[in-house]
């Protein structure tokens, strides 16, 4: 058994980590740190865990745990690590965007490896520090990387993706308030979303000649999940595209190619990504779907932890979708 710590356990990603790790056969939760809820039971923030755990939030940090997950707001992980010097034996998995880009990947001698298992598994297995990918970035990269590797992303790529309200975090805001969000859809950060940087670097790691990305993110009137569609020029047949994607993901435990049209309910509450391909004239339409809190955050973080410690990659992550 390894001991895990969670920094920032009262939010959505922290809550999902607690739920997964409580049922992980190789992990015990050593502490869940919170500055605002120290001393209070976990169930005050996550009432669905009533009867499952009696753990309380703490204001103390054990710097010698085997692994620590940082579930902090963007920019706060750097500050926290500068103030808390974990043991050299402690593996760190950061769920913010602080260390995802190559230019930001080193802090105090710690080199963070980009944690997308479908493309970076050998490096993840050897890593002590992981930068967990963003939710939009995960859905979009998994949809486009097979084309990038094949050198088939030379033209413009147009991306439209919609995310649930949990993508905005647990703190209320004008655009996450129920009365505004319900029965409503809107776009935000058109063509400038912060995940474009990591998407671009991942695609370029396979092929530097990638066309311009035009990404339009949308707020959906649902709680969780991301459905992303992208299209670009593709000269081959749909059979060629399907064969290309199936070969690329032949060893991926959590990414699957569907020959039927896909929808969000297939993946919500799971760590899976489903991808569907459709050809129209000279355009290939790629649809990908993930749960933004699981494959887009906490589930992928545990997947990375499993690889880092030599566990089976899917242990603790055999979660069931609610399709009805």
* 281 φψ region: left (φ > 0), alpha (ψ -120 to 50), beta (else): left
Of 166 and 141, the one with more pLDDT: 141
- pLDDT tens per residue, range 124-138: 999 999 999 999 999
Residue range 2-132+297-309, CATH number: 3.40.50.720
Domain boundaries, the chain: 2-132+297-309, 135-290
**Residue 51 has what pLDDT?**
95
Flag whether pLDDT at 179 surpasses 80: no
Dist. CA 164–CA 27, nearest whole Å: 29
Nearest partner of 295 among 269, 321, 316, judged by Cα: 269
Task: Report how far apart, in Å, the C-alpha atoms of 235 and of each of 89, 154, 239, 245 are.
Answer: 50, 12, 12, 15
Annotated active-site positions, please?
135
Q: What is the pLDDT of residue 261?
A: 97
What is the model's pTM? 0.95
Q: What is the CATH number of domain 135-290?
A: 3.30.360.10
pLDDT of residue 208: 78
Q: pLDDT category, 323, cuts 50, 70, 90?
A: confident
Same-fold call for 2-132+297-309 versus 135-290: no
Band (257; pLDDT cuts 50, 70, 90): very high
Give residue 324's pLDDT band: very low, low, confident or very high (50, 70, 90). confident
Residue 174's pLDDT band (boundaries 50, 70, 90)?
A: confident
DSSP 155-202: S-EEEEEEE-GGGG-SS--TTTSHHHHTT--EE-STTT-TTHHHHHHH
Inter-helix orientation angle 135-149/196-206, to 10°: 20
The answer to whether residues 211 and 155 touch, using CB atoms and an 8 Å cutoff, is yes
């Amino acid at each position: 058994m390894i001991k895990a710590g969670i920094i920032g356990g009262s939010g959505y990603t922290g809550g999902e980590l607690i739920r997964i790790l409580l049922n992980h056969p190789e992990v015990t939760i050593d502490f869940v740190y919170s500055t605002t809820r120290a001393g209070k039971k976990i169930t005050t923030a996550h009432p669905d865990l009533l009867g499952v755990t009696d753990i309380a939030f703490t204001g103390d940090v054990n710097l010698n745990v085997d692994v620590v997950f940082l579930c902090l707001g963007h920019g706060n992980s750097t500050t926290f690590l500068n103030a808390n010097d974990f043991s050299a034996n402690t593996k760190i998995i950061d769920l913010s965007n602080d260390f995802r880009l190559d230019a930001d990947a080193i802090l105090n001698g710690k080199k963070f490896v980009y944690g997308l298992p479908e493309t970076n598994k050998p490096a993840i297995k050897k890593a002590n520090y992981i930068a967990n990918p963003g939710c939009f970035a995960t859905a979009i990269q998994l949809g486009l990387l097979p084309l990038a590797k094949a050198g088939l992303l030379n033209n413009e790529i147009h991306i439209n993706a919609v995310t649930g309200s949990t993508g905005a975090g647990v703190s209320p805001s004008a655009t996450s308030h129920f009365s505004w969000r319900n029965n409503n859809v809107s776009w935000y950060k058109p063509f400038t979303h912060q995940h474009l940087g990591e998407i671009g670097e991942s695609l370029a790691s396979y092929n530097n000649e990638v066309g311009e990305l035009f990404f339009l993110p949308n707020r959906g009137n649902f709680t969780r999940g991301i459905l992303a569609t992208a299209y670009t020029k593709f000269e081959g047949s749909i059979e060629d595209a399907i064969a290309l994607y199936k070969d690329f993901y032949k060893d991926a435990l959590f990414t699957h190619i569907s020959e039927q049209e896909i929808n969000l309910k297939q993946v919500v509450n799971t760590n899976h990504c489903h991808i569907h391909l459709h050809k129209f004239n000279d355009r290939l339409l790629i649809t990908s779907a993930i749960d933004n809190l699981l494959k887009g955050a906490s589930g992928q973080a545990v997947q990375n932890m499993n690889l880092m410690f030599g566990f089976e990659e899917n242990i603790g992550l055999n979660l069931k979708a609610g399709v009805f």
